[in-house]
Amino acid sequence: MAQSPLKYPDATADKAVANGDRWYNWADGFRWLEDETQERTQTWIEAQKELYASYMANRTQVLGWKQRLKIYYDYPKWGSPVLAGPYRFETFNPGLRNQAWLLRYTEGAETPDTLVDPLQWAADGSQSMAAWAPDSSGRWLAVAISDAGSDWRTIRIMDLSTLQWLDEEISQVKFSGVSWAGKGFFYSKFPQQSKDLTSQNQGQQLRYHAIGTEVEQDPIVFEWPQNPRYGVYGYTTPDQQWLIVSISPGTYGNMLKAVRLKDGIPVSDSFSTLTREFDSESSVVWHQNDRLYLYTNHEAPNRKLVRLKPGDQSRQWETIIPEHPEKVLQNVKPWKKGWLVLYTHKVSSELWYFRDGADPMPVALPYKGSISGLSVKENHSTAYFTLTTYAMPPTVFALNFGQQVPVAMHGSQKPGIGKDIEIRQEWMNASDGERVPMYIVQRKDRKAGPGPCLLYGYGGFNISILPFYQPWFHAFVEAGGTLVVPALRGGAEFGEAWHQAGMKDRKERVFLDMEEAAEFLIEKNITRPEWLAVHGRSNGGLLVGAVLTRRPDLFAVALPSVGVLDMMRFHKFTIGHAWRSEYGDPDDSLDAVSILRYSPLHNLNFNTHYPATLVLTADHDDRVVPSHSYKFTAAMQQAASAHKPVLIRIDTSVGHGAGKSIDAQMNEFAEVLSFMELWMNPWP
């Protein structure tokens, strides 16, 4: 599609910028864009916003796509129920509301109580309820509030007997849970201030807050001064008799310690060590008869459930549910003297009930998809979960004990939505001989032959990309496009071995999987390069940046969103240092060699015909700081040939993605779809 070359904002590269005692190519000259306090950085940002606004101005496609998106966003959105005391708590959004309510149901009452309405904090939806947790009696509610999408949280407490907020506010909370015990709860915080969106997060502490006490006096329950970069996270067993502390050097691997509690207070200064090494991951799920139950991938890549006695140094764990050779254990909950077990099998969810002396009983799911929000109390007669697919919004199901068939509790879809969509799974043979599956989502009446296609991927951090509902994906498919989501190495779809195959010095295998998936789609006549768009977020943004620089010939459009794009400096900001367990350490000479081979910023080439590229970031992203996107955009605008645009969309009062208002989502994705339509011609 021929258009006049764009005049990009001036971004002079500083010549010969050093990185330690080593020197890299010209792309490092844009490091000045890391400092948003500089006038020239602010000038560049504002100029990029103006360029993008002028490019998208008067695009009739944007309004058309936004009208379509309303159809797919406008459905009732229910969260999976949480039981506490005599109450049931749920989030609810009737459709296009910018933030959901938190509701409380009382047995016998006709209508629920509205406990929290985030739109009372900010009418535009820029403040969100990032997390919430009632205590076990249903008397108190802790709510973690995020401002403008930041990962920083402020915890507030509501007295549920009066529905009034207490004066107590806890700030500087980040990457933390809220775990009740006794008259208060455990939480994790950093010494850094919550307005600091770029400096490294170090020195995390686990603290305890008792209701009615001064927040400044909250005692430090646990910290790890041996290495201030380690994460410290605490939670209690369901009976609140044990505090479990997880210590993590990065995003993979943890050590577990435990201490007995009495009324929420540790009975000893000495913690028992449950797991010692950082080469596996474990999580405690239950306590009974002085034994702790945990699921782990220690010597079990697909995970198993084991039982142990705190303080036992023999490491003679008793296996309760053994590792399955083909299924990955994702979650396990004690229920009615047995276990409700969630598996991943061939990139979809399975739910089973295990009980000693009986054959495991499968739960008959109404359709193939992914389960989230598994919620159950040990002695309650009903378990809850949410099920979704690429064509159907999440639906909450209730499973009564003793039954195999769950009942839809809250219907989340409008009649007819998704009924014309076909979802199938195909497997490709990767170049190393591995079989890699992918979901292909199309209209049932789509004409045979190649057409517009969106290839989405993630491939990292031991995260499984199971079927999920994304309204703008649905709109694209209903308009005649094809959505393809491969299960890339680096994820957890097939256990820890799958993860290990795509991390550190094996990271390039992830990009090969994505490139070979693109070639597979072209070979199968599903699409052609001139109709193929590639998209990913965060680590998936790295994926897009890597494949567009490695194989620009494969794609018409590239959409790297909130991506890790400067792989030599990701560890310098906020929580980036934790990602070294996934990517390797850029300050290590051996790791740097493999990282430099694919770092998107460092692998751009001059006068190259890159795809039409729309980089997406946000001004309050304090996880993958926006300078990644700034530097990559400035470098690519100078490197790319002028035949296709390189633009950046910088969202305001938005973070890495969580808690984003419905309006902000629809505005972004209407523009993304419009950009795709411009450069994937002819559109069907």
**Which residues are known to be catalytic?**
538, 656
Q: Which residue bears the tokens 């329950």?
A: 221
Q: How far apart are CA 151 and CA 297, in angstroms?
A: 28
Query: What letter does residue 600 receive in the DSSP assignment?
Result: G
Residue 437 makes CB contacts below 8 A (sequence gap 6+) with 346, 347, 425, 426, 427, 428, 486, 487, 493
Residue 418 makes CB contacts below 8 A (sequence gap 6+) with 389, 391, 392, 474
Token reading at 132:
């919430």
Q: How far apart are CA 335 and CA 376, in angstroms?
A: 7
Residue 596 makes CB contacts below 8 A (sequence gap 6+) with 24, 567, 568, 602
- Kindly tell me the sign of the dihedral angle through the C-alpha atoms of 487, 492, 494, 500: positive
Angle between helices 627-639 and 39-56 (to 10 degrees): 70
Q: In what order do the strands lie in the sheet with 349-354?
A: 328-335, 338-344, 349-354, 361-362
User: In 3D, which of 119, 185, 130 has the Cα closest to residue 154?
Assistant: 130
Q: How far is residue 466 CA from its own chain's centroid?
A: 12
CA distances from 75 to 62, 130, 233, 373, 394 (A): 21, 21, 35, 19, 10
Tell me the residue type at 639: A
β-bridge partners, 393: none
Q: Beta strands of 63-139 (E only): which ranges? A: 77-78, 82-84, 87-93, 101-106, 113-116, 127-134
Token reading at 406:
């769950």
Q: How far apart are CA 518 and CA 501, in angstroms?
A: 20
